[in-house]
Structure 1
């Protein structure tokens, strides 16, 4: 398994989304790491991120943004965590779709730098990098910071799976696919996750190959 750490920088401004630009432009708020970001079936996005500074101003920015459907904030010592349901723009959708369809997993947290760039690490088999690693576009530029062999600890092995693989694995476990005797088929899992049975079978083979290869090592 390989990893590559990238610095992805917006070509204009200090963020990839109008909400991010509003937060970056406000001196009362400091953006922190992104712990989770994903796109829902309806095309909207979910974001779990850190920030610090003036939490009242942060709430005000999110409340006034036309791109925010809903949000909640959990305050902690120094940093707080915001869970935001938002409307992605075209660039966000392209990046999230690439993440969702790829065999590469994104390690979290994703570092948000002062100039709006993201520093993130992708993990996966060598062959997947040829097609799924982001390259420069009109919206962003990509710089490779580091690459090499990746050896996940057992505790973060689940996180080394792709979003789609984790979804399939969770459904398989919940439905009893790994029970003895087995309680579910590929068809049952496919109906739960909205995929073809053959696609489910392929995902499960890749998941099992990655897990067993790690345990043998």
Structure 2
């Protein structure tokens, strides 16, 4: 019997990105989860719930925040690499983003796609960088770390036998629901403006429009309840 292992790594990230007017949108100096725009603290990221690297090199992702949701929702007008952003409501809320990733993030997601491993969501920002827990067979995990380019700063924080976490929001989804969610994200169903409709997803997956709508509502309800409640 092959043992499933896990590793938790810290990956150093870029500190600054540029806005459309050339001004930096910086991470917090004392708390890297903070998003500052024009000298004001807009929001603080609680966790990264999901990321998916698309074929065109862009990323769609879901992150949990607290702060000014309406201000963060305008970030696509501020930052060149943000294609779209939409947010939910409440004290702690989700941001759905479609964006052009930096070199480090691209390298991470490409490396994960090449090995037989999975991410134990969520990812979290720390003062040292992005904390990511990965699980799979030991050989695949070793190949993953060895395959990072030299310019990517990766630090091993801990390792051991993998025990599934109960707080993973996607862990409550069935395999079919995960397939539909991935298809919806890849097709641009959650982009603003929407690049795909429920009818498009139904045609792609060979299901009725009503079935797709029912699946998406159940998926969204499960994920939001696991995060907010």
- Aligned equivalents of 2:163 and 2:73: distance in 1? 40
Count the aligned residue pairs.
157
Question: Larger Rg: 1 or 2?
Answer: 1
Q: Does 1:87 align with 2:100?
A: yes
Greater fraction helix = 1
Q: Which runs of 5+ in 2 are unaligned?
A: 29-35, 172-177, 184-203, 205-229
8 Å Cα contact 2:7/2:159 also seen in 1: yes
Q: Deviations over 1:43-65 (max 9, x none)?
A: 21101101111223212333321
Does the C-alpha gap of structure 1 residues 120 and 87 become closer, same or farther in structure 2, counting only changes over 3 Å?
Answer: same
Does the C-alpha gap of structure 1 residues 116 and 57 become closer, same or farther in structure 2, counting only changes over 3 Å?
Answer: farther
Q: Deviations over 1:65-106 (max 9, x none)?
A: 111111211123x21101111112333222211111111111
Matches within 5 A, 1:30-49: 30-49=44-63
TM-score (norm 2): 0.58
Does the C-alpha gap of structure 1 residues 120 and 89 become closer, same or farther in structure 2, counting only changes over 3 Å?
Answer: closer
Give, in angstroms, the shift of residue 109 of structure 1: 0.5
Matches within 5 A, 1:118-157: 118-133=130-145, 137-138=150-151, 140-152=152-164
Q: Does 1:6 align with 2:9?
A: yes
- Aligned equivalents of 1:155 and 1:60: distance in 2? 30
Tell me which of 35, 50, 69 is aligned to 2:64. 50
TM-score (norm 1): 0.61
Give, in angstroms, the shift of residue 39 of structure 1: 0.9
8 Å Cα contact 1:22/1:61 also seen in 2: no
Matches within 5 A, 1:53-68: 53-68=67-82
Does the C-alpha gap of structure 1 residues 155 and 118 become closer, same or farther in structure 2, counting only changes over 3 Å?
Answer: closer
SS in structure 2 at match of 1:133? helix
Q: Deviations over 1:106-144 (max 9, x none)?
A: 11000112x371111110011112211265732x42222
Structure 1 runs (4+) greater than 4 angstroms displaced: 153-156
